[in-house]
Amino acid sequence: MKPVIGLTSQSEEIKGTKLNKLKYTYIDAIEAAGAIPIVLPNLKNIEDLDQILKRLDGLFFTGGEDISPLLYDEEAIKFTTEISYERDRMEMSLFKAAYKKGLPILGICRGLQMINISLGGTLYQDIPSQVEDSHGHFSTYDIKGGYHRIDIFEDTFLFDIFKEKKLAVNSQHHQSIKDLGVDLKINSRSSDGIIEGIESKLNNHFLLGVQFHPEAMVLRDERFLKVFSYFVNRCSK
């Protein structure tokens, strides 16, 4: 049986109509890796999450808008503008329940940041204005190819996936991890010191987060599908 994986999504009001949206590249990547993707809306009834989690083999926190800085006890700076109370509330509750159950978890971009905050970490709200001498981390025109390189540390899931110490990745984020959450370790950094990936320190728990977008890179480079097949494989156990 193929594993069933829940994907988080964004709720957004456009011209007076509320929509649920998720880039199809996330859905396609999970399907291509051999699992069944199920898109989860931002529910109001948080008490129903346990029932949903019973039916899932893994949870995928997708990319998107900024997370409210109130969740890590900071006031928003002027560069933090796109926040969604509904999505923050849904994802944080979902993460906590799934983490407690030991469900395999993947986080991409905002997803990595949500994992970190849910485990007590904090973020740089805006890399260009808060991190001195930082490099470019936000390319917009073409995110199918590499934009900057990362150093991948050995003895990590990410190294096990790529078997490379240096990897060119895309980058479309203006925020990044500042203080690391509890029981997390860093699996990669860019040369300006920005944290580009995290995973669980606990051996019995599969939790992987990356700041780059393998779901977009896979369109040009098949190696990036391995991030998803590795995760799907963990969800099959």
Residues marked as catalytic: 109, 213, 215
Q: Do 127 and 176 touch, CB atoms closer than 8 A?
A: yes
What residue type is assigned to position 215 of the chain? E
Shorter beta-carbon distance to Mn ion: residue 92 or 114: 114
- Strand ranges, E, within 27-118: 36-40, 58-61, 105-108
- For 73, phi then psi, to 5°, come to 65, 40
Nearer Cβ to Mn ion (48/142): 142
Minimum Å distance from CB 84 to Mn ion? 22
Spatial distance between the Cα atoms of 12 and 95, rounded to a whole number of angstroms: 21
- Stretch in the footprint of Mn ion (CB under 5 A) among 25-33, 43-51, 124-132, 135-143: 135-143
CB of 137 to Mn ion, least distance (A): 4
Give me the sheet containing 166-169, strands edge to edge. 36-40, 4-8, 58-61, 105-108, 207-210, 195-200, 184-190, 148-152, 166-169
Q: Three-state SS for 123?
A: strand
Helix (H) or strand (E) holding 12: strand 10-14
Q: How far is the CB of 170 from Mn ion (least distance, A)?
A: 8
110 counts as binding Mn ion under rule CB under 5 A: no
Nearer to Mn ion, 99 or 124 (CB): 124
Residues 6+ apart with CB under 8 A from 125: 66, 69, 74, 76, 77, 79, 80, 175
Q: 20 vs 191, which CB is nearer to Mn ion?
A: 191
In whole angstroms, the minimum distance from the beta carbon of 177 to Mn ion comes to 11
Those residues whose C-beta lies under 8 Å from the C-beta of residue 203, and which sit 6 or more positions away, are: none
CB of 118 to Mn ion, least distance (A): 21
137 interacts with Mn ion by CB under 5 A: yes
| Binding track over 27-66 against Mn ion, x by CB under 5 A | ----------------------------------------
What is the number of the residue whose Cβ is closest to Mn ion? 171
Which of 110/137 has CB closer to Mn ion? 137
Q: Which of residues 154-193 bind Mn ion (CB under 5 A)?
A: 171
- The site for Mn ion (CB under 5 A) is made up of 137, 171
